[in-house]
Amino acid sequence: MDQARPLPNELDLSAHWIPFTPNRQFKAAPRLLVAAEGMWYRSAEGRQILDASAGLWCVNAGHARAEITRAVERQLATLDFAPGFQMSHPLAFELASRLAAIAPDGLDRIFFTNSGSESVDTALKIALAYHRARGEGQRTRFIGRERGYHGVGFGGMAVGGMVANRRAFGAMLPGVDHLPHTHDLARNAFSKGQPEHGAELADVLERLVNLHGGDTIAAVIVEPVAGSTGVLVPPKGYLERLRAICDAHGILLIFDEVITGYGRLGTAFASQYFSVTPDLMTTAKGLTNGVVPMGAVFVRRFVYDGVMQGPEHVIELFHGYTYSGHPVACAASLATLDIYEREGLFQRAASLAAEWQEAMHSLRGYPHVIDIRNLGLIVGVELKPREDGPGRRGYDLFLECYNTGLYARVAGDTITMSPPLIIESAQIALAVERLGAALRRIR
C-alpha cells in the first residue's frame, strides 16, 4: 500500500529548494497547486484558477489529456527504459520522423534532450563540432542578445542576456558577445503584432563581425519572440536581416523555439510564421505537452552531414544524455503530436490570434499600463515600475491575479500570458476581466 501522504497544510516546506523563487517569501505564504484539467488548475485551498500561461508556456493541449496519460501508462508497462547509447528503441525513430515532417524546411535531423537548457547547450556544441569537422575550428565565438533567455546551463546562460541569471556565476563561456535587445517603448509601445521600428538593430551583427572577425563566429542564437524577459516581438524585417548577415559570413543561425515551438504563433514553429529558416532550432516544453521532460534540437541536413565524418566505427558527436529519447517521453510526445494534429490546435491558435489581440489591447488605458505587446497566443502587459523598486508592482499584480483565479506569469513589471491552445473565447474574456480588475486594485 502507498504510504499516507501529508495534507498540503501539514507539509514541511523547509527541505525543498524552490527554483527561480524567493524561497523565504514563498515558504511564508506558499501557492500550491494540487490538480489540473483542461484550462484550469485547482489550488490546495480548493480554488479554481484559470491557467493563462499553459503552466510554464508548455501545456499547449491543455491539462490532463487522457490520450497522453494512456500512452505513458502503456509505455511504462511495455518498455520503461532503453539505453540510448549504442542502442535505441523504435519510438525514438518514429518520433524523430514525425518531428521532421512538421519541421521548417530542411531541419530534419533531430537530437533528443530532456529540457530547453539541454537543447540550447546541445545546439551550441553541434555548431562548434560542425565548424571543426569542416576545418573551421577557429569559429568558437557565439553571439546572443540582451534580454535573451536560453536556459540555465553554462552555455545557455553565457549567450543569454539576463543579468540576474549571470551575475553570481563567474566567467562562463569565453568569446561570447551580445546583440542589443529590440525593446523600444518610445517608438513601439502598444504595437499590435510585429512592431514597425527596429529592424536596423540586426545590423549590429555586422559591427560584431567587424569587431571579432566573421570567421571566428560559430553561431548566433536568438529567440524569435523573446518570452521570459517579458515578450519582445521582433520588429518587422529584423529576423530576415539577421539571417542575411549570418549567410554572408558563414555563421550558423540558431532559433531558440523552446517557447514559440509547437503552435504558439499559429504555425508549428515561429520560423514558419516569420518565413525565416534557421540552421538549428531548439525546442522542449510543448513537445510533450509538458507532462514528461523532453527537448529536441532540429538540425539542417548539411550540418548533420558535416558532422558525419571520419571512420564509421568512431562516434561522430561525443554528446548525449542518459535520458535522450527516453521511451516514456517519446510516447508522451507522439500522443501529444496526435492531439495537436487531430484537433488542429496550431490552426486554432492562428484563428484565435486576432481575437486575443483585440481582447488584450482593450486593457490599454487601465491603471499603470505603459505597453501591451502580442503575437499569436502570447501577450506581455508592461506596467510602470513603482517608486519602491522595479518588479514590485508586477509581483503585486501577479499575486492579485492568482488570488482572484488567474494564473499569469510575471517578468519584472511585465505580466505575460500564453494560454493552452484549447482556450475558448469566453476564457479569453475572463482572463482580460480578471487582469483588468486586478490592475484596478493594485497600487
Ligand X SMILES: Cc1ncc(COP(=O)(O)O)c(C=O)c1O
Q: Under the rule (CB under 6 A), what is the footprint of ligand X?
A: 115-117, 120, 149-151, 223, 227-228, 256, 258-259, 284
Characterize 37-56 residue by residue with b for buried, 16 or more Cβ atoms within 10 angstroms of its Cβ, and e for exposed. Answer: ebbbbebeeeeebbbbbbbe
Cβ proximity to ligand X: between 257 and 382 the closer is 257
Shortest Cβ 259–ligand X spacing (Å): 4
Cβ proximity to ligand X: between 20 and 318 the closer is 20
Shortest Cβ 29–ligand X spacing (Å): 24
CB atoms within 10 A of CB 16: 11
Q: Cα–Cα distances in Å, from 14 out to 17, 28, 264, 289, 402? A: 8, 11, 36, 30, 23
Shortest Cβ 293–ligand X spacing (Å): 7
Shortest Cβ 426–ligand X spacing (Å): 28
Cβ proximity to ligand X: between 116 and 198 the closer is 116
Shortest Cβ 223–ligand X spacing (Å): 5
As a whole number of angstroms, the distance between CA 74 and CA 78 comes to 6
Cβ proximity to ligand X: between 254 and 397 the closer is 254
Cβ proximity to ligand X: between 151 and 325 the closer is 151
Shortest Cβ 129–ligand X spacing (Å): 20
As a whole number of angstroms, the distance between CA 241 and CA 405 comes to 42
Cβ proximity to ligand X: between 324 and 442 the closer is 324
Taken in order 396, 397, 398, 400, is the CA torsion positive or negative? positive
**Quick one: cell of 129?**
563540432
Shortest Cβ 332–ligand X spacing (Å): 15
66 by Cβ neighbours in 10 Å (0-12 / 13-18 / 19+) ranks as exposed
Cβ proximity to ligand X: between 43 and 117 the closer is 117
Q: Cα–Cα distances in Å, from 423 out to 40, 97, 225, 428? A: 10, 29, 21, 7
Ordered strands of the 409-411 beta sheet = 369-375, 378-383, 414-417, 409-411
Within 13 Å, how many C-alpha atoms sit on residue 376's CB side?
Answer: 35
The letter for the amino acid at 250 is: G
> Regarding beta strands 33-37 and 295-299, do their DSSP bridges make them parallel or antiparallel, or are they unpaired?
unpaired
Cβ proximity to ligand X: between 214 and 238 the closer is 238
Shortest Cβ 56–ligand X spacing (Å): 6
Which residue has its beta carbon closest to ligand X? 116
